[in-house]
Amino acid sequence: MTDRLTLPPGPDYAYGGYKVRIEPIGTSGSRWRVVDDEHYFGEIAAADPVKGEPEVHVAAHFPGEEDIPPTKIVAEWTLAVEFLLDAGEH
């Protein structure tokens, strides 16, 4: 794991008028739920390298789609959270 995959400071994250919590799922340190007091936005998870790039990436999974291939894989956890907030239905 790289530093960008560790639980972010807080563990709160503010973006686009949202203030969400990034909550670890289990003890693996590789999956987190994105939630606020009223909504579950989905999960972010460590993903395999993309296009031969060596670093670990982060996958965004919408609610109900946690066990299927991710909709989006990005290089930063913040981008994965922002994708869920921008594209999610709540």
> Tens digit of pLDDT for each residue in 21-62?
999 888 877 889 999 999 999 999 988 766 777 666 889 999
Check residues 69 and 52 and name the one with the higher pLDDT: 69
Q: Which two tokens stand for residue 37?
A: 């007091």
Q: Please list, residue by residue across 3-38, b when 16 or more beta carbons sit within 10 angstroms of its beta carbon and e when fewer do.
A: eebeeeeeeebeeeebebebeeeeeeebbbbbeeee
Tell me, what's the pLDDT at 46?
85
Residue 2 has pLDDT above 80, yes or no: no
Q: Which two tokens stand for residue 67?
A: 């066990």
Distance, CA of 65 to CA of 54 (rounded, Å): 26
- The arithmetic mean of pLDDT across residues 49-78, rounded, is 84
Q: How many domains does the chain have?
A: 1
- Range(s) of the domain holding residue 25: 3-87
Indicate the pLDDT class of residue 84, thresholds 50, 70 and 90.
very high
Alpha carbon of residue 74 to chain centroid: 10
